[in-house]
């Protein structure tokens, strides 16, 4: 579905944000950007307008998208002195501007942020994503949305430029809840694939051939397809950094405590990530969790078993 050119703001041009924003530029939209880091390609060589503050982005854009690391970053960008909220007003067509947070942050804080943006006369969607850098570059992200149906319907063509599997989960905060659930599943799958390949390699089998065999069976998964290959090839450049997955599992575990729910395997996955960080791996791709298990086994995948 084609979309008439829109004035879109994009704040946060990191590993995920830059290729996501690039899809919007490629579709012919006018982009107004703000980032604390270096402006990455494909944005650096595009016609995107660099703004000094989030407030200026909000003044110029009708749709303002955030892609930031954590809850405090989103709160700062939205509500600091020169934040997004200070620049909000009527959209260029006289309607309501829309703030879309595509970061992965606290569902509880999200509900508060949405209420404050609504009080300013604008709409709010939380729309965290899954699919990693590959999904962002291929416009194939899964997008989990929380907000009102009418707002979602209006923004859906924009989401379609960045993702393939796009669902309205419920009200504000429910998109973030779905993302936390996603991160639990991903972490536990990484842990399972790590154990399986480590076991196979230590037993003397070729882990690459084991992976290929498992890809045709019930154990097949995106984690086995993508992350197992990283483990075998020892390519741990992110991707999705361990420190960010730690943040997401902290959200899961703190929310579980508040709900009175036990998540024992999530806690184990977090401890393995913690072990990686203790060995300087907070910036590794989250598939690097396997290194914590390798340390305990004193054996690396790819190493010849004696």
**pLDDT tens-digit series, residues 196-222:** 999 999 999 999 999 999 999 999 999
Contacts from 256-264 at CB under 8 Å and sequence distance 24+?
263/184
pLDDT at 1: 45
The whole model's pTM is what? 0.90
Mean pLDDT of the chain: 95
Averaged pLDDT for residues 177-192: 97
CA distance 263 to 254: 10
pLDDT score of 39 more than 90: no
The pLDDT assigned to 178 comes to 97
How far apart (Å, rounded) are the C-alpha atoms in residues 127 and 141?
Answer: 11
pLDDT of the residue at 241: 92
* Closest alpha carbon to 102 in 68, 136, 75: 68
Q: In terms of residues, how long is the chain?
A: 306
| Residue of 179, 202, 247, 304 marked active site | 179
The whole-number average pLDDT for the span 66-83 is 97
In the structure encoding, which two tokens stand for residue 149, read together? Answer: 């149906």
DSSP label of 223: I
Please confirm, yes or no, whether 179 is among the known catalytic residues. yes
The whole-number pLDDT of residue 132 equals: 86
Residue 239 predicted with pLDDT over 90: no
Residue 20: CB partners within 8 Å, gap ≥ 6?
10, 65, 67, 102, 129, 136, 141, 162
Pairwise CA distance, residues 49 & 28, whole Å = 14
Torsion, CA 129, CA 144, CA 105, CA 289, rounded to 10: -50
Tell me the backbone φ, ψ of residue 166, rounded to 5 degrees: -120, 120
């Amino acid at each position: 579905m084609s979309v008439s050119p829109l004035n879109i703001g994009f704040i946060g041009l990191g590993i995920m944000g830059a290729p996501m924003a690039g899809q919007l530029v490629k579709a012919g939209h006018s982009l107004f950007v703000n980032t604390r880091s270096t402006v990455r390609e494909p944005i650096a060589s595009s016609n995107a307008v660099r703004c000094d503050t989030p407030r200026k982005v909000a003044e110029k854009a009708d749709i303002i998208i955030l892609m930031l690391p954590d809850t405090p970053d989103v709160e700062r960008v939205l509500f600091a002195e020169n934040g997004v909220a200070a620049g909000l007003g009527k959209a260029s067509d006289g309607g309501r501007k829309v703030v879309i947070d595509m970061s992965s942050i606290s569902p509880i804080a999200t509900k508060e942020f949405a209420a404050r943006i609504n009080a300013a006369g604008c709409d709010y969607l939380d729309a965290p994503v899954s699919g990693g850098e590959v999904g962002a570059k291929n416009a194939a992200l899964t997008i989990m949305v929380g907000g009102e149906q009418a707002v979602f319907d209006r923004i859906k063509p924009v989401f379609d430029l960045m993702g393939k599997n796009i669902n309205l989960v419920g009200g504000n905060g429910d998109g973030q809840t779905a993302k936390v659930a996603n991160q639990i599943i991903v972490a536990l799958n990484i842990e399972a694939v790590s154990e399986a390949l480590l076991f196979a390699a230590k037993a003397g089998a070729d882990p690459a051939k084991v992976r290929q065999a498992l890809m045709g069976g019930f154990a097949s998964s995106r984690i086995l397809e993508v992350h197992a290959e990283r483990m075998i090839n020892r390519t741990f450049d992110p991707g999705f950094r361990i420190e960010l997955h730690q943040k997401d599992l902290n959200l899961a575990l703190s929310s579980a405590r508040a709900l009175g729910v036990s998540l024992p395997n999530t806690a184990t996955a977090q401890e393995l990530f913690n072990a990686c960080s203790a060995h300087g791996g907070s910036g590794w791709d989250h598939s690097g969790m396997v290194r914590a298990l390798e340390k305990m086994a004193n054996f690396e995948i790819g190493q010849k078993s004696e």
